[in-house]
């Protein structure tokens, strides 16, 4: 059996700066609120129909541990008959939750399920509690830079010297501007689930918008920033995603189930692929994963009308665009801005890309295919190809 998988709906919480907006909130509670918001938006779906819940976190300990997929499903009010599990593929956690759930739907094991991810980098700094095997270095399996994401971005600049810091900074400014424009148009807010927050100084409040964006960013300001990963380097806090907290979740179903139950269809999954590269240039991962996914789908890059590329670092996006012959400012790329502006709470970002792509599909019925793609720590990339259900040629 090979059934078509569709994206019914997806939401996320506002993203915060690590340990700032959500400093008084547990990671699992952020995820619970996201799930509840998703269920509230889709109240016509009987909660007992959900076959599974897959939730990702890059650090699976403390308030992101104890099989967060199962624990947040129970806390969100799903019946105890609905199982759950946790996923870890670092930055591509939510993306992997989506593809894993989709595989089960495609083969007929599930009809409808939930996939998502959360990261509280304020509670769990990147690398906190990990114990890298010393053989990585002693046996020269990877370079030491592979364990520092900023250093891997510097190595991409080394490999592609024509992708300069000036180009990276210009790309970063554009991301901020597109995000600001989307907020001004009321676009991003449509898919944000408000979250109760608590501050020791200010008391209770509600998070309703992303905290990280800096809409007044200028090229001059970025040019003056320090390069923390290398003396006279090219990667700065301004042309990279920050350290962030947040969650995202999606409902996936078979096309048959969605149609039979009158559910919305925001995107149709075509195929997906993951691929590996040298860990020390992990940001290049989306190139081979996209090549692989396109081959599986029988498509060419020219047939892709919209791109959602996770902006872990500007240089990572530029290297992807450069390989496929796309301009730095290609209007099909990241219509509503990206992680450089709104943030990258590791395991949640894969679904954020899908949220933006679905909105892009809705606004562009002339586009048939789009992709969501991202780089992954230790040298990987992930790409999902989607078809637009609003495609004007499909009717």
* DSSP labels, 193-258: PPEEEEETTTEEEEE-S-S---TT--HHHHHTS--TTSTT-S--STTB---EEEEEEEEEEEHHHH
On the question of pLDDT at 244 being above 90, the answer is: yes
- CA 224, 230, 235, 238 torsion-angle sign: negative
Give yes or no for a contact between 237 and 149, defined as CB atoms under 8 angstroms apart: no
| Residue-wise DSSP of 27-45 | HHHHHHHHHHHHHHHTTTS
Among candidate residues 163, 172, 180, the one with its CA nearest the CA of residue 221 = 172
pLDDT digits (tens, 9 = 90+) for 10-56: 999 999 999 999 999 999 999 999 999 999 999 999 999 999 999 99
pLDDT digits (tens, 9 = 90+) for 48-86: 999 999 999 999 999 999 999 999 999 999 999 999 999
The values of phi and psi at residue 139, to 5°, are -100, 10
Helix (H) / strand (E) containing 73? helix 68-75
The values of phi and psi at residue 279, to 5°, are -55, -30
Mean pLDDT of 218-233: 96
Tokens read off for 136: 């990585």
Mean pLDDT of 114-132: 93
Give yes or no for a contact between 6 and 255, defined as CB atoms under 8 angstroms apart: yes
Residues 6+ apart with CB under 8 A from 71: 28, 84
Active-site amino acid positions = 91, 344, 375
On the question of pLDDT at 394 being above 60, the answer is: no
Mean pLDDT of 336-365: 98
The values of phi and psi at residue 310, to 5°, are -65, 130
Among candidate residues 302, 305, 284, 295, the one with its CA nearest the CA of residue 382 = 284
pLDDT digits (tens, 9 = 90+) for 130-171: 888 777 666 656 677 787 899 999 999 999 999 999 999 999
Length of the chain in terms of residues written: 395
State the average pLDDT for the chain: 96
Terminal Cα-to-Cα distance of the chain (whole angstroms): 26
Give yes or no for a contact between 326 and 333, defined as CB atoms under 8 angstroms apart: yes
pLDDT for 153: 97
Tokens read off for 126: 């990147």
Whole-angstrom Cα distance, residue 320 to residue 49? 40
| Rg for the chain, CA atoms, rounded | 20
Quick one: DSSP state of residue 62? G
Whole-angstrom Cα distance, residue 335 to residue 351? 16
The values of phi and psi at residue 205, to 5°, are -160, -175
Give yes or no for a contact between 298 and 385, defined as CB atoms under 8 angstroms apart: no
242 — pLDDT class (breaks 50, 70, 90): very high
The values of phi and psi at residue 65, to 5°, are -105, -155
206 — pLDDT class (breaks 50, 70, 90): very high
pLDDT for 132: 81
Quick one: DSSP state of residue 311? -
pLDDT for 1: 66
On the question of pLDDT at 184 being above 90, the answer is: yes
Q: Tell me the pairing of strands 85-87 and 53-56.
A: parallel
């Amino acid at each position: 059996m090979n059934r078509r998988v569709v994206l019914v709906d997806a939401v996320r919480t506002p993203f915060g700066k690590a340990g700032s907006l959500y400093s008084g909130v547990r990671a699992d509670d952020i995820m619970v609120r996201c799930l509840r918001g998703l269920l509230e938006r889709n109240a016509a779906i009987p909660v007992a129909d959900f076959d599974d819940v897959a939730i990702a976190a890059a650090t699976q300990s403390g308030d992101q541990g104890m099989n967060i997929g199962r624990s947040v499903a129970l806390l969100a009010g799903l019946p105890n008959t609905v199982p759950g599990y946790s996923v870890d593929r670092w930055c591509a956690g939510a993306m992997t939750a989506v593809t894993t759930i989709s595989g089960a739907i495609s083969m007929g094991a599930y009809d409808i399920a939930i996939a998502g991810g959360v990261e509280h980098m304020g509670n769990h700094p990147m690398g906190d509690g990990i114990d890298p095997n010393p053989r990585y270095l002693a046996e020269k399996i990877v370079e030491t830079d592979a364990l520092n994401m900023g250093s891997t971005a510097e190595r991409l600049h080394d490999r592609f010297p024509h992708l300069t810091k000036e180009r990276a900074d210009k790309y970063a400014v554009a991301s901020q501007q597109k995000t600001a424009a989307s907020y001004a148009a009321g676009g991003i807010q449509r898919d944000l689930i408000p979250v109760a927050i608590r501050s020791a100084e200010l008391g209770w409040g509600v998070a309703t918008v992303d905290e990280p964006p800096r809409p007044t960013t200028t090229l001059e300001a970025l040019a003056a920033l320090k390069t923390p990963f290398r003396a006279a380097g090219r990667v700065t806090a301004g042309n990279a995603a920050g350290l962030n907290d947040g969650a995202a979740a999606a409902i996936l179903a078979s096309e048959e189930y969605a149609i039979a139950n009158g559910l919305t269809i925001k995107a149709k999954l075509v195929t997906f692929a993951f691929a590996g590269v040298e860990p020390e240039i992990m940001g290049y991962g989306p190139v081979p994963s996209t090549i692989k996914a396109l081959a599986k789908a029988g498509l060419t890059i020219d047939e892709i009308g919209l791109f959602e590329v996770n902006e872990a670092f500007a240089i990572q996006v530029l290297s992807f665009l450069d390989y496929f012959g796309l301009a730095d400012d290609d209007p099909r790329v990241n219509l509503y801005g990206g992680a450089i502006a709104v943030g990258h709470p590791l395991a949640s970002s894969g679904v954020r890309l899908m949220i933006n792509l679905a909105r892009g599909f809705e606004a562009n019925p002339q586009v048939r295919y789009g992709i969501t793609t991202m780089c992954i720590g230790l040298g990987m990339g992930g790409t999902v190809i989607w078809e637009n259900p609003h495609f004007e040629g499909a009717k």
